[in-house]
Amino acid sequence: MFCICGSQRYSIHNVVLSLGALWLDLHIHYAFFNFERIQIFTETLRSYLHESQTPMRFSTGLRFVRSVGDIRSLPAMKMHDILKRCDPFRKQVELNSFLERQRDSEEFSLLKHWLCTPPQYTTLRVNTLATSVSEAKGRLQEHIDKCSRREHMAYTVTKHPQLDDTLVVVSSQNRTQLEPCGRQVIVALECGEAVLRGANVFVPGVMGAPGNLQKGDMVAVYVDVDNKCCKGDKRHYQGEKVFIGNGMARVSRDDIFKNGVIHGTAIDVTQPAYNCPPLNNVLRDILFLQNIPSIVCSRVLDPQPGETVLDMCSAPGGKTAHIATLMRNQGTVVALDKASARLKKTIENCALWNLNVVQCFVHDATMPFNTNANLQQLPLKFDRIMLDAPCSALGQRPRLQYRQSLNEVLSYPNVQRALLTRACELVKSDGVIVYSTCSINCAENEDVIAWALTNLPLELAQQQPHLGGFGRSVDGLSEADCRLLQSFEGRHDGEDFDRDTIGFFIAKLRRK
C-alpha cells in the first residue's frame, strides 16, 4: 500500500490510476498504455518508495513521474530473453534429471531453450498428383501476399532443394523485440504453442479476457504456462505467463463466454512474437502442412507404385497420404489406428486428395489381424511398413511446459518394442520397416533399435535422404550403426530449414 495524496491510502490499482492522470497532464497519450508497462512502472515506484521510506505526496509523485519520463521510453521486450526463461521440464524434476543424464549439462540447457522456441521455417508438402510444385508455389505465395494481416512481415515461398515435393516458407524478418500493446487476453497452453507456430487464436483457446472486451479491441496475448487461469476469468491474470504477440479481437468477451460462440477466430494475431505465417487449412486440396522430418520419413521408406504398404499407426494421415502419393495412387496402402476419432482424420485427408488406394481400419497394431473380423482379407505380408510409433512427443516444438511424468515417458518403450516385433512378423523377407518417433529420448529411439537388432531378424539400412544428424551412442549400437540412424534435435534457431525443425528420430530396418 502507498500514500500518494496527503494521508489518503491507495491500493496498487489506485496508484496506477493516479499516475495515469499525471501522465495525461504531461501530454502522454493514453493509447500507449498497456498492462505490461504499468506493471513495470509500479514495480519501479515500489522500489522508489521502499528506498525513500517516506509517504509519497502529490508533489513527490509528480517529480517521480517526470524523472521516469514517457512510458514509451521503457524498453521493448526481447522475445528470445522471454522464452529463455521458460523451461519445459521445470515441473517434472525426475524427467529433467533423466534426460540430462543422456547429454552434458550445456547441451541439455541449449536443448531446453530450443524446445521452447518454434521453428522459424514452415514447410508444406505438395499434392503432386493434382498440381506441379511450381504452380503450388505460385498459388501459395499469392495467398500469403493477399491474405496475411501480419504487420511489417513479408514471407517468401521457396522450393526445398532436396525434397522435390516440398515448399518452405521463409520470413524476411526476424522480430527480436515486441512491445505488448492493448488489453491482456490469456490463452491456454496448447493454444499459445500453436500461436507461436503461426496460428491465430481460436475461440476455444481463450481462457481469460477483460470484462468489457469488445470486437475490434487491440489485445496483448499471453499464454498461461501453468494452466491455472480459470475459464472466463476477467481479472488481470497474475500467474506465470508468457507474452506471445499482439492482435485484434474478432469477437467480444460476451460472444466467447456468454453467447455460445464456440468456433472460429477469436483474435487475429497481427504482431506475432515469432514470424511463422498462419497457414492452417490453406489450399488443402494441394498442400499439407508437415514438418521436414515427417516428410523425410516417407521418402526413406521409398514406396513404389504397385507395392503393398502398411502404416501401423497412421493418424492423422500425413505420412499415409504421402506414401500413397509417392506410389502414384497405384497399389495398396493399409492404414491402421486404434482410435476411431483419430482415424477419421486419416480418412478425411486421403479422401481430400482422392487417394483411393488407401484402406483404413480401426485396429490396435500390436494385435494379430485375425482378432479383427474386418481385417481378414488383408495381405499376410507387406513390402514396406511405416511404424511412426506412439511416443512421448518430447521433440515437439514449441513446448513451454511438458506435462507427462517420468513414469509415463518410461512406459512407451514397451509399446514400441511390441509394435516393432509385430512389424517384423508382417514384413516380407528383405522388406523394409521405417521406425520413427517425435522424441529426443534415447530410451525410445536408439535403445529400442539396439534391442531390435539383438532380438529380431532385422538389420539397419542406409537412409536416403539423410538431412539430419546421426544417432547417439548407446550400448548395443556400433559407431557404424549410429551413422545409419537419422536424428533431428537441438540445432540453433534459424540455422537452416533442415535442422531448425522439431526433434525427431528415424531408423530404416531391413528384414533378414
Is residue 331 annotated as involved in ligand binding?
A: no
**Owner of C-alpha cell 522435390:** 164
The alpha carbon of 455 is separated from its chain's Cα centroid by a whole number of angstroms, namely 35
**Run of H or E residues at 465:** none
Residue partners of 258: CB distance under 8 A and separation at least 6: none
Catalytic-residue membership of 438: yes
Residue type, 219: V
Q: From 378, 387, 360, select the one nearest 301 (Cα to Cα).
A: 387
Is residue 316 annotated as involved in ligand binding?
A: yes
Query: Around Cβ 347, how many Cβ atoms within 10 Å?
Result: 18
In this structure, the strands spanning 382-388 and 308-311 are parallel
In this structure, the strands spanning 218-224 and 183-187 are parallel
Query: Around Cβ 66, how many Cβ atoms within 10 Å?
Result: 10
Residue type, 113: H
Phi, psi dihedrals of residue 325, rounded to the nearest 5°: -70, -45
Is residue 20 annotated as involved in ligand binding?
A: no
The alpha carbon of 269 is separated from its chain's Cα centroid by a whole number of angstroms, namely 16
Is residue 277 annotated as involved in ligand binding?
A: no
Catalytic residue, from 191, 229, 391, 438: name it. 438
Is residue 86 annotated as involved in ligand binding?
A: no
**Owner of C-alpha cell 518403450:** 413
Give 110's Cβ-side CA count (13 Å radius): 9
Return the C-alpha cell found at 480: 557404424
Is residue 364 annotated as involved in ligand binding?
A: yes
| 13-48 as b/e: b if 16+ CB within 10 A | eebbebbbebbeeeebeeeebbbbbbeebbeebeeb
Give 433's Cβ-side CA count (13 Å radius): 31
124 CB-contact burial (10 Å; exposed 0-12 / middle 13-18 / buried 19+): buried
Rg (CA), the chain: 27
d(C-alpha 445, C-alpha 435), whole Å: 9
Phi, psi dihedrals of residue 399, rounded to the nearest 5°: -130, 100
Q: Are 432 and 301 in contact (CB under 8 A)?
A: yes
d(C-alpha 468, C-alpha 100), whole Å: 21
Between the CA of residue 60 and those of 44, 64, 71, 76, 246, what are the distances in Å?
14, 6, 18, 27, 35
Is residue 293 annotated as involved in ligand binding?
A: no
Is residue 337 annotated as involved in ligand binding?
A: yes
Residue type, 92: Q
Residue partners of 425: CB distance under 8 A and separation at least 6: none
Can you say which residues are annotated as belonging to the binding site for S-adenosyl-L-methionine? 313-319, 337, 364, 388
Binding residues: 313-319, 337, 364, 388
Q: Which residues are catalytic?
A: 438
